[in-house]
A and B are shown apart, each in its own frame.
Chain A
Amino acid sequence: MQRRNFLVAAGAAFLAGCNEIGKSEWFGKVVEGAEGWHRGLHRALGGGRITMAPEYTRADLSPYFRGNGSLTVDTEAYRAAEGSGFADWRLRVGGLVNNPGELSMQDIRALPQRTQITRHDCVEGWSAIGEWTGPQLSSILDAAGVQEGANFIVFRCADDLNGARYYESCDMDDAFHPQTIIAHQLNGEALPVRNGAPLRLRIERQLGYKHAKYLTGIDVVASLDDIERGEGGYWEDRGYQWYAGI
């Protein structure tokens, strides 16, 4: 009985210790370092910074593409936009660019399109395969003219999740990656509301929470420090890794 009590007490102390370590500041620094190691290994083992996510065929499409996080945008403006088939939706492009401005849905559909059948991996563990269509982010950025000193792209969204505005960000490698597109179609149809209508990001070498939905704007920035809580995304501000390729 005593031995059993000892084991239970030791186990509880171990768990309490792990909790404390997990909340400490130095643990966060170690995580950041490990995140960098993973990222470096992914690039080194892939032989470069631009590796391609696998693409599938239509036979592989998932029977149902789940919506997760925000399933709609709870505002009058969004409901009105939905009612008019998002005909007047605009994507603002700003920050460190030579030609800031707005793209209409027609502008976006007029750009060269990429269609890709890829697998979406949620951080929770499930996966779904879908066919996405839209212009490459690189063509939008090239048209806008990215200025010297730009390090990140920030994706602005229309949806609030748990009372805070959703947003995301990526580095310039992923911004100019051939598979990074601003999708307006899923499986050949206009993007469903639960999947981010009318525009969502596809950033195929990272987990689902990076794929910002209900896009309203793209900002080219030098630093993420002054945006929201400074971690570069809604979930990143709540403890998740900024590099979601792990």
Chain B
Amino acid sequence: MAKPKKRHALSTRLWHWTNALALILLFMSGLNISNAHRRLYWGDDGFLPEQAWLEVPRFPGWATIPDYYSLATARDWHVILSLVLGFSLLAFMLFALFNGHLKRDIWLRAREWKPRNIGKDIREHLRLNFDHGEGKYNILQKIAYAGVIFVLIPLMIFTGMVMSPGMEAAWPWMTEFFGGRQSARSIHFIAAWSLFAFFVVHMLLVVAAGPIHQLRDMITGGKE
């Protein structure tokens, strides 16, 4: 397979920025939607406080889209950006599969899973040394990227589909897979905050590793 001349392929860069914008807009409109009913439940149904496993705080206007409470407009943002999130992830996965990015850079090899390797990687991160490991990405990076691409974003998409009654009627087995609509809603919430945690760590590490250089490479592609 042809090795790309750039550090980040065009398809990777396009997806990265589309996905970043979609996730920010979805997260912030999602906080607005969360304000409409601030309790989370497990199972099929839930309304009463005693059924809830979590009482969610009210998110302030500066954290939501729009910056005042509007369930209707927040849902509009969600209705648009959910399609962008889903189809851009699908496109990226296909490109990454065929240009070798997945196999070469993201795939976790058995030898990388050794506790010694993971321990060493953690120590190097704590020393703020990011230029190590045999491939482009070290093991912690691979776990984080694979976790976002193959676990967290797909979880967001599929639990979101479960919460659409029209979609649920098409694929009722998916509701059962997640343990009911309110379980899917809870998982949607947990996965959203997990993505936020990734975002925070991602930002901190980009800043620690040299933000100008990292940003430039993610825009222009950089050199291999």
Contacts and interface: CB of A to CB of B under 8 A. Distances in A.
Given A11-B62, A15-B65, A127 B181 contact: yes
A22 B77 contact: yes
Contacts of B44: 56, 60, 119, 127, 129
A56 B62 CA distance: 41
Contacts of B167: 38, 41-42, 45, 245-246
Given A54-B172, A126-B47, A19 B75 contact: no
Interface string A47-76: 100011110100010111010000000000
Interface stretch (A137-145, A189-197, A204-212): A204-212
A31 B80 contact: yes
B169 interface: yes
Interface in A147-187: none
B67 A238 contact: no
Contact of A125 (B37, B62, B168, B170): B37
A123 interface: yes
B170 A15 contact: no
Nearest to A55: B172
B72 interface: yes
Nearest to B87: A37
A150 B57 CA distance: 47
Given A34-B79, A43-B170, A241-B75, A129 B45 contact: yes
A124 B80 contact: no
Contacts of A245: 164-167, 169
A47 B82 CA distance: 21
B12 interface: no
Contacts of A235: 72
B76 interface: yes
Contact of A34 (B47, B83, B168): B83
Contacts of B88: none
A27 B73 CA distance: 10
Q: How large is the interface on A (under 10, 10 to 19, 20 to 34, 35 or more residues)?
A: 35 or more
B93 interface: no
Interface residues of B, number: 42
B65 A128 contact: no
A119 B169 contact: no
B82 to A, nearest CB: 8
B5 to A, nearest CB: 33
A122 interface: yes
Contacts of A241: 75-76, 79
B164 A127 contact: no
Contacts of B39: 126
Contact of A205 (B45, B70, B166): B166
A9 B72 CA distance: 27
B36 interface: yes
A92 interface: no
Contacts of B82: 38
Interface in A20-49: 22, 27-28, 30-31, 34-35, 37-39, 41-43, 45-47
Contacts of A19: 66-67
Contact of B76 (A16, A31, A122, A125): A31
> Lowest 10 A-B CB distances belong to which pairs?
A245-B166, A46-B170, A239-B72, A125-B37, A51-B169, A42-B166, A124-B37, A124-B36, A126-B47, A127-B45
Interface of B: 25, 28, 33-34, 36-37, 39, 44-48, 51, 62, 65-67, 70-73, 75-77, 79-80, 82-83, 163-172, 175, 181-182, 185
Interface of A: 11-12, 15-16, 18-19, 22, 27-28, 30-31, 34-35, 37-39, 41-43, 45-47, 51-54, 56, 60, 62-64, 66, 119, 121-129, 204-207, 235, 238-241, 243-246
Given A18-B25, A38-B82, A245-B166, 19 more contacts: A15-B62, A18-B28, A22-B77, A31-B80, A38-B79, A38-B164, A39-B166, A45-B170, A51-B169, A52-B172, A53-B168, A54-B169, A125-B34, A125-B37, A128-B47, A205-B168, A206-B166, A245-B165, A245-B167
12 contacts: A15-B62, A18-B28, A18-B66, A28-B76, A51-B169, A54-B172, A121-B181, A122-B37, A123-B36, A206-B165, A239-B76, A244-B165
